[in-house]
Amino acid sequence: MKSVCSNLLVLFRSVGSLTFGQGMISGVLALVLAALCFFGAIAFHFPEYLTTPELRQRYDVASIRQLMFCSMLLAGALAVLNLALLRTLWLASWSLALLALTAIMGGHNIAVGAFPTDVPYLGLDWLVLGLLGTAIIFITIEKLIPFRDQPVFRPEWQTDFQHFAVNHLLV
């Protein structure tokens, strides 16, 4: 566990863009998707405490399940590819471990029964959907209308991620 924490700290403290061919881009993507799927499974198990009531009424659970299934497949494929190519083994291993935990918890097929709606909640669904939506929108905009020609994982990507986390966690 100490090795994983130190590897994550090294990743977030490092500077410079991630380059193709080293397995870091696919490894980070696999780990982020696996973590989002894991958080999604936890939110499916405890919707009354971890989902936003206003947001719950607006999204289709079947679509969220489909998105979660596709994300699990993509994260698993990227992690297996990195394992096969012997690149970023620690990222691939942790991605597969999170995916295995998600699958053991029920994956995208977790049944959600009736639950009280008048309890305090954290809004984990808002965090997960916000990260996916923000990433898709801004990466697309930056690639279609670039201000400067820069990679997605440019030197400041860690700062961008930290700003996202703080802004969403404060909300």
- Look at residue 77 in the predicted model and tell me its pLDDT: 96
Most confident of 57-66, 101-110, 143-152: 101-110
Percent of the chain with pLDDT over 70: 82
Q: CA quadruple 56, 111, 67, 22: dihedral positive or negative?
A: positive
| Residue pLDDT, tens place only, 41-76 | 998 888 888 888 777 778 788 888 898 999 999 999
Alpha-carbon gap, residue 168 to 139, rounded angstroms: 18
How far apart CA 164 and CA 114 sit, in angstroms, is: 32
- Whether the pLDDT of residue 1 is over 90: the answer is no
The pTM (predicted TM-score) of the whole model is 0.73
pLDDT more than 90, % of the chain: 23
Is a pLDDT exceeding 60 seen at residue 15? no
